[in-house]
Amino acid sequence: MTKHAWDNYVRYAWGKNELRPISKRAHTGSIFGAASLGLTIVDGLDTLYIMGLHDEFKQGREWIATNLKNLEDINADFSVFETNIRYVGGLLTCFSLTGDVMFRDKAEEIAKKLLPAFHTPTGIPNALVNFKTGASKNYGWASGGSSILSEFGTLHLEFSYLSDVTGNPVFREKVDTIRNVLQNMDKPKGLYPNYLNPKTGKWGQQHMSMGALGDSFYEYLLKAWIQSAKQDHEAREMYDTAMDAVVTHMLQTSQSGLMYFTELKYERVEHKMDHLACFSGGLLALGAQTLRNTVSTKHIEVAEGIANTCHESYVRTNVKLGPESFKFTEAVEAKALRTNDKYYILRPEVIETYFYLWRLTKNQKYRDWGWDAVQALEKHCRTSSGYTGIKNVYQDDPVKDDVQQSFFIAETLKYLYLLFSDDSLISLDEWVYNTEGHPLPIKGVNPYYREHQP
């Protein structure tokens, strides 16, 4: 599957960001636009390496060495978060795996282009930065000029590691500042709202979510602790407190017994869960396994419950792949109701959770569920020229969206491969995955950490 996705990207969209597998050309409407930034190459390269596709890896490495440069000439706005998780994260993993300093230097070069976004009164970065001018801003739709929790809260792993491998402290300083701001904020009921104004340092709308706008902030608290070989106690405490509040105020069980995370808008509870929020099954299991305390038993139970619900969201469709977002009402459970929520864009989160739960519980059902997803992907998303998303999972033969997302190779296929591999391949004892599926080494434990020697 990976060969098929990669080879067709090479054939029809080489050097561009993503492939349109049906029209057999580049996808210019991706989050990195029409620029030739090789997004699929950078995002997918560690997957190729892990799978032993070495010729393909070499081809991608050469493209990056030769073409990923002159960023200061690009007069366009880029997402700080997406650039970090896909480019900086992807390159750092390739550096760690291979020791090839070209990857480290490119990661640093790109991360430096993000730094102007941190020039705000609080140090909370703006969402978008122009690589040429350095001007930065927030999205117009984000609660009165707010920055977004899942974006500014998902930089810690890459920035800390980058400081350690380059010897340049500036990156860690930036994420430490973000951490301090968050530590000192009042949290309504212990919860973190999704919007924070970088100028005033005040929360925007009190919208709380384990899905879009919140998700990977929680993930990076736990993973910062893991990455530091359990030395970053502040991160672990923040994770434990945050998840305690989330489980207390956002976890629900449906009439038929399905566990799910709701969203909160001030006091209003929305009984909806995003596909994105399905990553939380894996996260809770990882958090429970790495610290065996009184809460662990509860968290592993919730992790398995969330995995089951997300699996149900797949099973209750015609194509056996889940919708973007699903609801719980008196009439339906784990199903999308609005047309706009019925699409599937090759997202990884459900398979990611199967991967963690397989590694941590060894229950065969997670491999079986992963294999069912493979069959469904082959039947409905595979085309003669790559893989596509689909527009309505409740139809037998849905319309295809004609986009092979870069995270399909970076995450979906990587987690599937690892689900069926030995535990020693990118072991959870030595590696911690960034939110785009790029494994980063654990400090002091993994010899591939490759810390800068002065």
Binding residues: 435
Size of the site for ligand DMJ (CB under 6 A): 8
312 binds ligand DMJ (CB under 6 A): no
CB of 436: closest distance to ligand DMJ in angstroms?
A: 5
Instruction: Please indicate whether residue 324 is annotated as part of the active site.
Output: yes
Q: Annotate 75-109 with DSSP letters as a single string.
A: -SEEEHHHIIIIIIHHHHHHHHHH--HHHHHHHHH
Instruction: Please indicate whether residue 237 is annotated as part of the active site.
Output: no
Which residue number, 114 or 449, has a Cβ lying nearer to ligand DMJ? 114
First to last CA, the chain: 43
Instruction: Please indicate whether residue 108 is annotated as part of the active site.
Output: no
147 binds ligand DMJ (CB under 6 A): no
CB of 347: closest distance to ligand DMJ in angstroms?
A: 4
436 binds ligand DMJ (CB under 6 A): yes
| Cα–Cα distance, 259 to 387 (Å, whole number) | 31
Instruction: Please indicate whether residue 372 is annotated as part of the active site.
Output: no
SS3 188: helix
Catalytic residue among 158, 215, 263, 436: 215
| Cα–Cα distance, 299 to 291 (Å, whole number) | 11
Catalytic residue among 56, 77, 164, 349: 349
Using CB positions, name the residue nearest to ligand DMJ.
Answer: 435
User: Quick check: 200 and 409 in contact, CB under 8 A?
Assistant: no
Q: Which residues pair with 196 in a beta bridge?
A: 147, 203
CB of 326: closest distance to ligand DMJ in angstroms?
A: 15
Cα torsion 222, 228, 229, 230: sign:
negative
CB of 251: closest distance to ligand DMJ in angstroms?
A: 21
Which residue number, 77 or 324, has a Cβ lying nearer to ligand DMJ? 324
| Cα–Cα distance, 359 to 428 (Å, whole number) | 8
Whole-angstrom Cα Rg for the chain: 21
Alpha helices in 251-363 (DSSP H): 280-290, 296-315, 349-361
Closest CA to 417 of 23, 4, 20, 47: 47
Please provide residue 19's backbone torsions phi and psi, each rounded to the nearest 5 degrees: -100, 140
Which residue number, 231 or 340, has a Cβ lying nearer to ligand DMJ? 340
User: Quick check: 35 and 71 in contact, CB under 8 A?
Assistant: no
| Cα–Cα distance, 288 to 29 (Å, whole number) | 39
Which residue number, 166 or 306, has a Cβ lying nearer to ligand DMJ? 306
CB of 188: closest distance to ligand DMJ in angstroms?
A: 24
DSSP classification of residue 205: S
Catalytic residue among 82, 151, 164, 263: 82
Please provide residue 104's backbone torsions phi and psi, each rounded to the nearest 5 degrees: -60, -45
CB of 169: closest distance to ligand DMJ in angstroms?
A: 26
Task: Mark 403-422 with x for binding to ligand DMJ (rule: CB under 6 A) and - for no binding.
Answer: ----x---x-----------
Provide the 10 A C-beta neighbour count for residue 298.
14
- Record the tokens describing residue 218, joined without a space: 């929680």
Residues 212-241 that bind ligand DMJ (CB under 6 A): 216
Single residue of 104, 347, 380, 443 touching ligand DMJ by CB under 6 A = 347
CB of 268: closest distance to ligand DMJ in angstroms?
A: 25
Which residue number, 366 or 408, has a Cβ lying nearer to ligand DMJ? 408
| Cα–Cα distance, 276 to 293 (Å, whole number) | 27
435 binds ligand DMJ (CB under 6 A): yes
Residues 260-279 that bind ligand DMJ (CB under 6 A): 276
Annotated binding site for Ca(2+): 435
Which residue number, 225 or 407, has a Cβ lying nearer to ligand DMJ? 407
User: Quick check: 38 and 30 in contact, CB under 8 A?
Assistant: no
Active site residues: 82, 215, 324, 349
Binding site residues, ligand DMJ, CB under 6 A: 216, 276, 347-348, 407, 411, 435-436
